[in-house]
Structure 1
Amino acid sequence: MGSRTPELERSESQASVETAWNLPPEWFTSPEIFALEKEHIFRRSWNLVGRTDQIAEVGDRFSFTLHDEPVLVVRASEDKVRAFANVCRHRSHRVDVECKASRTIRCPYHGWAYELNGQLRKAKGMDGAEGFDVADFRLHEFHCETLGPWIFVALEDPPPFQDVFAPVIAASENHFAADLEYRGTRKWEAPINWKAFTDNFDESYHLPYIHSYSLEQVIDWQDEWKDKWGLGYYGLEPYPRGPGARMAGAIGGVGDYRRLKPAIPTLTEKQQVGYTIFWVWPLTIIFFMPDGMIAVSLRPTGPETLEDTWSWWMPPAADSKEKLLQGILMHFGHIINEEDTEAMIHVQEGLRSRYAEAGRYAPNLEDTLHHSHKILRSHLLPLLSTNGHAGGNGNGSR
């Protein structure tokens, strides 16, 4: 049939789940595709970058690299968090290396000093520079927002934060009202494309196979996520139906489950046995659970490399028994992610093969996956059509 042209890809973006084909394998391995995603999707999206407790006091800060951009996040005031390019306006040295708390951001190279709002305050040695005025120099500032314990940064022209996160904000009220405590973070680094991760997350088709030991007894794998817009909901059917109730029954009944786990008194009846899971496209996943919250930050570092960071919040443990149970629940989550990661690595290995071809979607099991691919195609196809490239493995496959 020849390689996949932009016209063919465009037709797939409009096809129903019953007739459409998956993304071409090259979209999971191509440096060119990844460069387009980074420039036109990742930089313009809201990225989960850290926690507010990391910068509890004015002057606290931390730094990291986001889509090849060095970033500095600072507590500028009690109610304002700012994100700057970690690049001095003098000679582009990282403006902050050690990230020690201070009311000033001072570049260690030549001592240029900035206010916490990014404005240059002092530049020693510049007295003889004609027309030089510190008022003309500021650190480049990125878009930065907070939601509950989370900090989000967008590098360029993102959609309004309140619009993107409206469903999350609506669902978060009862969990945010609880006295949840940060329980820790774990980072995985895997040789996979970011879409291998999100595609796996997008469907429950694989549960009875990849998670035959860990999850099959507690989640109905045929209960496909109800929301078709990238936001998945588990356990929201009227009690006692749904996987939340199955989880409870699997360890001794709903009553026993509620007594075993640390209670969150602000949650509704449904929330006490149900899970609400949001994928905020493309790189943030948030879980609201009977036991607390999980936030997942995806950081694509190359066309076939990904960092995924999982952070947990849970209620205060009343005693050692509850603390042990919380540790077991976190470990259970790590087991599930390890199972998924192994499967995703094998998928990525297959995608490199010259015999890899786009497959078909399973209706009713991969509807959300189909929709997320439509979103991606809507972003990439206008860019790809300018050079006549849409992917393909050179093997004459779809």
Structure 2
Amino acid sequence: MNVHSPVDPVAELAANVALPFEQARAMPKSVYTSQAFLDAELERVFAKEWYCVGRASSLKEAGDYIAFELAGQPLMVIRGKDGTIRCQSNVCLHRMSVLLEGRGNARLITCPYHGWTYEADGHLRGAPAMKANEGFCKEHYRLPQVRCEVWLGWIMVSLNPGATAVATHFADVEELIRPYDMTNYTEWFNEHFVWNTNWKILAENFMESYHLPVCHAGTIGGLSKLDEMVCPPSPPHFNWHTILKDPAFRIACAHPSNHRMEGDLRRTTFLLALYPSLLITLTPGYFWYLSLHPRSVGQVDVTFGGGMSNDFLADADAPELFRTLKDLLDKVNVEDKGCTERVYRGLCSDMAAPGHLSHLERPNYDFATYLSRMTRTGG
């Protein structure tokens, strides 16, 4: 496959979204297969916007950390002794080794190369055999700090010092889901995997429920009623659509003790796509999410997490309810993996061409419009 498109993918996408939604087609192949477009995304999207690392509830103790990469920068989020969650460079200030890997707990951050040690707040604590260097001063060393905010329980980071505060940037999201009280949900699992598809294919797969009856015929497809899906035009920073759950699916509906919700809202699921790549399924009883980051043109790093509303915590059968749910989500993931990897293989074909969008794919059009704006202007 030739990943270097002969056309300008940014211009192709701009032309694509210039048409009104009623005439819209899927995004051009070049935005999925072009290295130039991926470079533009990393520079103008992922390096500028807010990126979700996970839930704050998963970093319970001082020293709990998550190491990750954002737009080519090795970073970590870590809970300090003072309880604050910080984001900082994950690169030693000596010979520039990466410090931490994966997830874990590190009361002290020790470089695996020469043993320089840092406090959780990034200050250098110790450096062996450095007394003979007259220019060395331990107090002059601190790991570079990165914007980090906890919003509705989500750990959000940005490489952009001028990024608008998360609570302001996503104020309309917060208002939309206010009755759900996202701070009242606790993460029960967090996993990481890599799929062989472009990150936008997986994002778009989440943004529309048009595929549910077919792609998920073996799991949730039979429960998905296309005529009950609501897919409105979206604001600039996110998109959403809703579906209704069967009242018999108890864990997906509001707990009897939940007096924040009334009527159909008690069984309404919101599917939220917070640009660029935080994808949240939010029900009154549970949530699950994907946070995506491109690894290459044809691979995506996926953080997959989820949990329950704290309203259910006192129920004796809550653990069993969640085990059953997690088993279902794992099966759905297998189906999504197959669908999204097939889409990537298909759009790499010389004979592939983007077709017209269904009215149920309005979120995909709005996402394409966002990507076009960002890759052309960076904001």
Cα 1:8/1:35, change in 2 over 3 Å: closer
Residues 24-66 of structure 1: CA deviation (Å, up to 9, x unaligned): 2122122222122122212222222233344323333342334
Match of 2:92 in 1: 88
Match of 2:3 in 1: none
* Structure 2 Cα separation of the partners of residues 214 and 105 of structure 1: 44
Residues 317-375 of structure 1: CA deviation (Å, up to 9, x unaligned): 6234x54333223323333332222111111111111112233223x222221111111
**Residue 241 of structure 2, aligned match among 222, 233, 236:** 233
Match of 1:342 in 2: 338
The answer to whether the 8 A contact 1:264-1:290 is kept is no
Match of 2:213 in 1: 208
Match of 2:316 in 1: 319
Match of 2:59 in 1: 55
Q: Which structure ranks higher in relative contact order (CA pairs < 8 Å, sequence separation ≥ 6)?
A: 1
* Structure 2 Cα separation of the partners of residues 19 and 304 of structure 1: 28
**Residue 282 of structure 1, aligned match among 267, 276, 279:** 276
> TM-score normalised to the size of structure 2?
0.83
Q: How does 1:1-398 map to 2 (within 5 A)?
A: 9-96=13-100, 100-102=105-107, 104-157=108-161, 158-170=163-175, 171=177, 174-176=180-182, 178=184, 180-222=185-227, 223-229=229-235, 230-235=238-243, 243-244=244-245, 247-248=246-247, 251=248, 257=250, 263=256, 265=258, 267-269=260-262, 270-314=264-308, 315-316=312-313, 318-320=315-317, 322-362=318-358, 364-381=359-376
Alpha-carbon RMSD = 3.1
* Structure 2 Cα separation of the partners of residues 72 and 66 of structure 1: 10
The answer to whether the 8 A contact 2:109-2:117 is kept is yes
The answer to whether the 8 A contact 2:117-2:125 is kept is yes
Give the 3-state SS of the residue equivalent to 2:80 in structure 1: strand
Unaligned runs of at least 5 residues, structure 1: 236-242, 384-398
The answer to whether the 8 A contact 2:97-2:111 is kept is yes
Amino acid at match of 1:366: E
Cα 1:3/1:366, change in 2 over 3 Å: same
* Structure 2 Cα separation of the partners of residues 291 and 357 of structure 1: 40
The answer to whether the 8 A contact 2:87-2:147 is kept is yes
* Structure 2 Cα separation of the partners of residues 218 and 82 of structure 1: 41
Give the 3-state SS of the residue equivalent to 2:267 in structure 1: coil
The answer to whether the 8 A contact 2:179-2:260 is kept is no
Give the 3-state SS of the residue equivalent to 1:301 in structure 2: strand
Cα 1:6/1:176, change in 2 over 3 Å: closer
Give the share of equivalent positions with the same residue, in percent.
25
C-alpha displacement of 1:304: 0.7
Cα 1:227/1:332, change in 2 over 3 Å: farther
C-alpha displacement of 1:258: 8.1
The answer to whether the 8 A contact 1:262-1:318 is kept is no
> TM-score normalised to the size of structure 1?
0.79
Q: Which has the larger radius of gyration?
A: 1
**Bigger CA drift: 265-274 or 92-101?**
92-101
Residues 175-210 of structure 1: CA deviation (Å, up to 9, x unaligned): 4464x4433234443210011112222223323332
Cα 1:44/1:77, change in 2 over 3 Å: farther
Cα 1:261/1:80, change in 2 over 3 Å: closer
* Structure 1 Cα separation of the partners of residues 346 and 326 of structure 2: 31
Amino acid at match of 1:49: V
Question: How many correspondences in the alignment?
Answer: 363
